[in-house]
Structure 1
Amino acid sequence: MEAAPAPRQETRPPAARRDELTTSREGIAAALSQIRGPFMERIDPAAAVKLPRPDLAMEVGRMLPDLLRELGLQLNGAEQRDVVTQLVNDMLGLGPLDPLLDDPLITDILVNGPNQVYVERHGKLELTDVVFRDGKHLLAIAQRIVNRVGRRVDESSPMCDARLEDGSRVNVIVPPLAIDGASISIRKFAEKKITLEVMARQSNLSDAMMRVLQIASRARLNILISGGTGSGKTTLLNALSRMIDTGERVVTIEDAAELQLQQPHVVRLETRPPNLEGKGEVTMRGLVKNALRMRPDRIILGEVRGGEALDMLQAMNTGHDGSMCTLHANNPREALTRLENMVGMSGANLPPKAVRTQIVAAIDMIVQVSRMRDGVRRITSVTEVVGMEGEIITTQELFRYRYEGEGADGKLIGRFESAGLRPAFTDKAGYYGLERPLLDAVI
Structure 2
Amino acid sequence: MTTVDPIRTARAAISVDDVDWQLVAQLRSRASNQLSEAVSEHGTLTKGDQEELGRTIILDLVEAALADRIDAGLPVWTLPQQQALARATFDALFRLGRLQPLVDDDRVENIMITGHDNVLLELADGTVLTAPPVADSDEDLIEFLVFLASRSEVNAREFSEAHPTLHLRLDGGARLAANAWVCPRPQINIRRHRLVEVTLDDLVKLGMLTPVAASFLVAAVRARKSIVVSGAQGAGKTTLVRALCAQIDPWEPIGTFETEYELHLHELTDRHRIVRAWEARPGTGEIGPDGRRPGEFTLDEALVDSFRFNLSRQIVGEVRGKEIWAMIKAMESGTGSLSTTHASGAVAAIRKLVTCAMEAGRHVTQELATSKLAATVDLVVHLDLSATSSPGGDLERTRRIAEIVAVAPGERETGYATTHIFTSRAGGDAVPGVLPDDYRVLADVGFDLPGYLAAQHRAEHGEAR
Category of TM-score, reference length = shorter chain: 0.7 to 0.9
Q: Distance in 2 between matches of 1:209 and 1:35?
A: 52
- Kindly indicate whether the alpha-carbon contact (under 8 Å) linking 2:313 and 2:335 is maintained by their aligned counterparts in 1: yes
Q: Which residue of 1 aligns with 2:322?
A: 307
Cα pair 1:221 1:364 within 8 Å, conserved: yes
Contact 1:145–1:163 (CA under 8 A) maintained in structure 2: no
1:335 shift after superposition: 0.8
Partner of 2:352: 338
Equivalent runs, 1:8-407 vs 2, <5 Å: 28-29=18-19, 31=20, 33=22, 45-46=34-35, 50-51=51-52, 55=56, 59=60, 62-63=63-64, 65-71=66-72, 72-73=74-75, 76=78, 78-122=80-124, 123-147=126-150, 148=152, 149-174=155-180, 176-180=181-185, 182-190=186-194, 192-261=196-265, 262-278=271-287, 279-280=293-294, 281-292=296-307, 294-318=309-333, 320-347=334-361, 349=363, 352-373=366-387, 374-389=396-411, 391-392=413-414, 393-403=416-426
- Distance in 1 (alpha carbons) for counterparts of 2:275 and 2:191: 23
1:99 CA displacement: 0.7
Q: 1:105 to 1:52 in 2, by over 3 A?
A: farther
**Distance in 2 of aligned mates of 1:296 and 1:427:** 28
Say if 1:348 and 1:247 are closer, same or farther in 2 by CA, change over 3 A. farther
Q: Percent identity?
A: 24
Task: Classify 1:75/1:391 alpha carbon distance in 2 versus 1 (closer, same or farther; 3 Å).
Answer: same
Paired residues of 1:426 and 1:438 also in contact (CA < 8 A): no
- Residue 164 of structure 1, CA deviation: 1.7
Q: Does the C-alpha gap of structure 1 residues 58 and 401 become closer, same or farther in structure 2, counting only changes over 3 Å?
A: farther
Quote the offset at 1:260 in angstroms.
2.2
Question: Could you tell me whether the CA contact under 8 Å between 2:168 and 2:260 is conserved in 1?
Answer: yes
Change (3 A) 1:119 1:210: same
- Does the CA-based 8 Å contact 2:218-2:446 persist in structure 1? no
Structure 1 residue aligned with 2:462: none
In structure 2, what residue type is equivalent to 1:379?
A: I
State the distance in 2 between where 1:436 and 1:223 align: 16
Q: Distance in 2 between matches of 1:237 and 1:95?
A: 31
Instruction: Assess if the C-alpha contact under 8 Å between 1:398 and 1:421 holds in 2.
Output: yes
Aligned partners of 1:217 and 1:41: how far apart in 2?
53
**1:391: Cα distance to partner?**
2.6
SS at match of 1:277: coil
Contact map agreement 1:422 1:439 (CA 8 A) in 2: no
Q: Is the 8 A contact 2:224 2:337 kept in 1?
A: yes
Q: How many residues align?
A: 404
CA contact (8 A) 1:421 1:442 kept: no
Report SS of the residue matched to 2:88: helix
> What residue number does 1:15 align with?
none
User: Alpha carbons of 1:33 and 1:142: their partners in 2 closer, same or farther (altered >3 Å)?
Assistant: closer
Return the offset for 1:424: 4.5
Secondary structure at 2:382 match in 1: strand
Q: Using the TM superposition, name which of 40-49 and 373-382 deviates more.
A: 40-49
1:245 & 1:185 partners in 2: Cα distance? 35
**How many angstroms does 1:245 deviate by?**
1.7
User: Kindly tell me: are residues 323 and 50 of structure 1, through their superposed partners in 2, closer, same or farther at Cα, counting changes over 3 Å?
Assistant: closer
State the 1:387 CA deviation.
Answer: 4.3
Matched AA of 1:378: R
Report the Cα offset of residue 62 of structure 1: 4.5
Q: Which runs of 4+ in 1 moved over 6 A?
A: 38-44
Question: Deviation at 1:365?
Answer: 0.8
**Alpha-carbon distance between aligned partners in 2 of 1:110 and 1:67, rounded to the nearest angstrom:** 38
Of 381, 405, 418, which residue of structure 1 is paired with 2:431? Answer: 418
Aligned partners of 2:196 and 2:242 also within 8 Å: no
Is 2:226–2:379's contact at 8 Å kept on the other side of the alignment? Answer: yes
Q: Which digits, 9 at most, give the CA deviation of each residue in 1:67-118, with x for residues without a partner?
A: 4434513555544443333233333332211111211111222232222222
User: TM-score, normalized by length of structure 2?
Assistant: 0.76
- Residue 397 of structure 1 and its aligned partner are, at CA, apart by 1.6
Give the CA deviation at 1:244.
Answer: 1.2
**Match of 2:428, SS?**
strand
Q: CA deviation at 1:419?
A: 2.3
The DSSP-based 3-state class of the residue aligned with 2:429 is strand
Return closer, same or farther for 1:424/1:353 CA change in 2, 3 Å cut-off: farther
Shift of 1:362: 1.2
